[in-house]
Structure 1
Amino acid sequence: MQAATALSRGPLAGPSSFSHRTTTSSEVSQLRIPSSRLPFSQPFSFPSKIQNGHRWLCQAANEPSLYQPFRPPPSVAPPEEETVQGTKEEMLQRLTERMGLWHEWAPLISLLQKQGVSPKEIDEVTGLTGVEQNMTVVGAQVYKSLGAQGFPEDQLRFFDIAGSGVLYELRVLAVNQRRSAAEYIIDNNLDAKGVRELAKAIKDHERKRGGEGRDAFTQAPGDAMAFAFYRNAKEARSEQERESLLEQGLSVVVTEAGRKKLEELLIKNKDVKKSVTARLQLVRLQRDETTPRAIPVVGALSEVSAADVEAAPVARTDTLFPIFTTTGHGKWVAVPSWTAISEAQAPVGILHPDAKTLPGDAGARTSGGPALVVVNRNDRALSDEHYYLVEKTGEPGLALIQGSDADASGQVLGRVVVAVRPPSKNEEIEEIDWV
């Protein structure tokens, strides 16, 4: 029989004394409270729920108590982490081998870090750098958020190949913005750089409320990109750059209002291009920009004659610009207008076959090669400090002879001003050898 222990006053007990007796369920169901103590006149009975509860209590009191272990509440970890099993070494091995798709093994990184494995240790074992770990974990979270929004599985597979770097760029977008952005990425096959520009355009469109032209572009990814091109075009410095940006905007814009806004600016830009006048740049020459001097070259030292030297023309230059006129001579050479050359009134160039055979110390300090000897025909005053171009008596060709011996050797044709060598192949600046 179902029974419960109830407290009741014993028939012989005092006012404060109580005795225990067992009350049956049938007695409980017949309990009544005197109507004199109730605000209503009808007898009161316990509801059926209380009666049923009493039966359960009676049954529990008669049955032996069973041990019920504590059960913690369900875990709040993502389902992916709940399903991952294995030791730390096994998880590291799986990361090393990149087993499965990237978003399938991404939870392993978070689990390992929760177990105290640092990103550096993961990098050393698996080869995944700290940056790659972060991109993978964040990209997997974005991937999961798309799946939670009901993103079609066949389209979601696009990111299995695109990788975490593409979805990582969507981290800055709200969850409700990621779906349309993901669809735009798939339709246009964007890479990580393109997705970064897309995410930036969407956020900028969101922030620029009330900005110029913003109301013509909707929140659609294509319109957000078009609005970014529109803003960049207005800040462009050149008409060509502005036109290029506007054409890019027209290629991605979605709404008709946005297209109209871009076309208005494009037409305005073309009108500006038509009104641009031609420009002529006027520059004043610096003195060092007009210094090269043209010198006639009469031939090789061993072949040229005194008559050739005497017949060489003099380049007459204008006083304002280095324009020179000649009298029918074929070969000329341009040399820097050093002071010695500038002061020469009638310079002429003589080719020397080997700089190593030049007289004095000049030849001894060089490795050889051709040289150009510049001679001033108007300076024939002899001095032991200089060399002179001389036509020796009874010998072919010309020679370079020191001043004290020049007059006795033959006809003096002029003083040697300088001997120059061609530029070095390694373009190193070498010392000028004066002779």
Structure 2
Amino acid sequence: MSTVPRACGASALGARGVWRRTRGADAARAGSRAPRAGNEFEFDPSSLPTFGGRGGDPRRGGGSRGGAPGGGGLVLPGMDGFDADAVRTNPLSGTQTFSKPGGASFVEGERKGPAGVIPKVGGELQGAFEPFKPPETFETAKVSAEEDDPDRMMMLMRSRAGTWHRLAKFIRPLNAKGFQPNDIFDVTGIEPKEQALWVTWLQCYASLKEGVKFPDEKLEYFDDEYTGAPNLSQIMYLPAAVRAVAAEFIVDNAFDSDQSRELVKAYEIKKAGASTMAARDFTNVPGDILAYKLYRDILELQRWQGEEEAQRIYERGIKYALSESAKVRLEQAVQMFVAQINGGAPSGAGLVAGDENITAEVQVVRLEEEELGYRPVPVVGNLIRVTSAKIKTAGTIEKDGNLFGVFSPQSNTEWVALPNWELLACSITPLALFVDDTSKTNMNGISDKAEPGLLIADRGEQTPRMGRYYLVSKKSSLVLAGSNAAAESVDVMEGAEVLQSERNGKPVTTLARVLLCVRAPGGGVSDGMTTEFVS
């Protein structure tokens, strides 16, 4: 005799189906229900799990046949005990209404959360949109007691009664009162994106207005929401110490947002390269800082970009550069780029007529006996043994026999008296070095004779130029015994080599420009040298 599978009663998980066969015994067990054809699935409500109703009552969620108390579980819509209020959908923006009989108004309604109505504490909706913000730092961004009224603020914003920075200070107080950006947009027509921009601009604008370094008469440049104010999105990234001077530079040059972004980037580039010799030739005023960024742009040009692009960047840099050293750097960068394009012959942008084929050469002058004792110049030592520290301090302890009238004033510093030639008179901080044999140097103009010389350099001119020689400091990869410092030497390099080394990412420290080489008096023998030369 076949048996019928039975439901698992209250322990069943989910609705169960019971397979019944159409045999006599099955029909009798089914009571008054008519037999069904074949193997057919029939839904049995008594097999439902209990959901809080009494056992055995499917209408009340009970699935137990024995009448045992039902357990807890899911309550579905339509079942006894279902509470429609428990699943009511919360509105996105509360129940504020913006009209009332007799005129416009902005009445704050109730706002419901998961735990029910959010209570009002101190007149504000706690738990509403942006319930807390730190107090405004700047007075310009604060709302006065007379203005702190939603009706008034909404009305002014809707009619755009005033500049953007006057209306922007209303946004955060409205947010704190429960008005979301979409609420403000529905009433005023000011989009949420524009509201966010206003709030951002306001902080930067307020810092400039209340600062002591930014002129008040230049603030009106930022009143225009479409030309001046977008610059504030860039200025805000600058530190407070330089923000005012950078903003004044932007106003003076009528920059747009893209140009302001370039200036902010220039500050970052200048800060990153502050330790390099090239960066030191650009002062910390905004014009030189922007020129330094453009100088770097020229160095990073590719050959295919051509001389015209280098000339375009150069002209922009010269427009903003203030210091002479910055202008020289820009000029030399263009010359180096053009030389690279032309295979080593600098020409074109930034060159003076006649400078197309500059070759570095040291000028030589022969001393006359009567010319000794005019211009005292400190002697820092011998070229092959001098260090960068001695050049920087313009002092030495060496005393070698020489032919140049060296004398020792106070402080044990050796000095040499030289005629006050034009080139020496125009120098800023001259110094001298002994050269034992000029023929062993690699400098054009002095390597043709094997005799001692006195090399004169100017420590006040360190910006490299093509066509000149410079004293530079080099560090070796070797480490001196008993010291952690690398071996250092002072050498002479042509300006073009210094610039090329910087372009290749291997900067060297320029110590001084080589002005001339002085030879000892010739004893009445003429060798064609003269004291008249071009400076």
Smaller-chain TM-score bracket: 0.3 to 0.5
Structure with greater helix percent: 1
Kindly indicate whether structure 1 or structure 2 has the higher relative contact order, using CA contacts under 8 Å at least 6 residues apart.
Answer: 2
Q: TM-score, normalised by structure 2?
A: 0.35
